[in-house]
């Protein structure tokens, strides 16, 4: 068995183990964004995309991992689901025990969330990070501006309940 130290592959492995299922590309994008927002720098820059925050570097990393045979994509259905090839033993690259624990906490916390729910949360955090006015209403308006009518105000407010996990607070 070949050993590889790679954080993207490690997170895919942990999602597989904790959730008992293979993540799709959209789920992986959102989970890694949330891990980065928790303060664990994985060196993935995010910009705004149709489905919320997106990292082309993370997408390229999974493409390279697939080309190297480390991850396998299942292209059935609506998602490109990923799993680690059994021929590889995957380890994190430079993560502390505390960071690995925090990664597991994020993965566990958002188990069962749909790609759309994660898209809403990550878009709300992205809006918050890029607004000067950090009021709740300003973030709601930011999400509505970015997403149009895809989410209503109540859905957005519900997603904002997770902000405290990422040390995000609203100004008065």
Q: What is the pLDDT of residue 172?
A: 80
Q: What is the pLDDT of residue 159?
A: 97
Q: How confident is the model at residue 153 (pLDDT cuts 50, 70, 90)?
A: very high
Q: What is the pLDDT of residue 161?
A: 96
Q: Parallel, antiparallel, or unpaired for β 52-54 and 2-5?
A: unpaired
pLDDT beyond 90 at 77: no
Q: Is residue 45 part of a domain?
A: yes
Q: Parallel, antiparallel, or unpaired for β 52-54 and 47-49?
A: antiparallel
10 Å CB burial of residue 150 (0-12, 13-18, 19+) is middle
Q: What is the pLDDT of residue 115?
A: 93
Q: What is the mean pLDDT of the segment spanning 14-28?
A: 95
Q: Using CA atoms, how far apart are residues 172 and 155, in angstroms rounded to an integer?
A: 21
Structure tokens at 16: 């597989």
Q: What is the pLDDT of residue 157?
A: 97
pLDDT beyond 90 at 1: no
Q: Is residue 37 part of a domain?
A: yes
pLDDT beyond 80 at 79: no
Q: Is residue 71 part of a domain?
A: yes
Q: Is residue 145 part of a domain?
A: yes
How many independent structural domains does the chain possess?
1
Q: Quote the domain boundaries for residue 134.
A: 2-166
- For the chain, give the mean pLDDT: 95
* Cβ neighbours, 10 Å, residue 123: 26
Q: Is residue 172 part of a domain?
A: no
Q: Is residue 171 part of a domain?
A: no
Name the CA radius of gyration of the chain, rounded: 16
pLDDT tens by residue, 106-135:
999 999 999 999 999 999 999 999 999 999
Q: What is the pLDDT of residue 51?
A: 86
């Amino acid at each position: 068995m070949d050993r590889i130290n790679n954080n993207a592959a490690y997170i895919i492995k942990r999602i597989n183990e904790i959730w008992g299922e293979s993540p799709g590309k959209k789920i992986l994008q959102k989970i890694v964004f949330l891990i980065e927002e928790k303060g664990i720098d994985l060196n993935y820059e995010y910009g705004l995309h149709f489905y919320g925050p997106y990292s082309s570097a993370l997408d390229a990393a999974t493409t390279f991992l697939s080309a190297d045979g480390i991850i396998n994509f299942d292209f059935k259905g609506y998602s490109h689901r990923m799993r680690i090839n059994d021929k590889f033993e995957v380890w994190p690259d430079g993560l502390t025990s505390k960071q690995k624990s925090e990664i597991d906490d994020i993965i566990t916390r958002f188990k069962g969330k749909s790609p759309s729910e994660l898209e809403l949360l990550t878009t709300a955090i992205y809006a918050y990070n890029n607004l000067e006015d950090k009021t709740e209403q300003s973030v709601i308006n930011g999400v509505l501006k970015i997403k149009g009518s895809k989410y209503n105000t109540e859905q957005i407010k519900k997603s904002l309940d997770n902000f405290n996990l990422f040390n995000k607070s609203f100004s008065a």
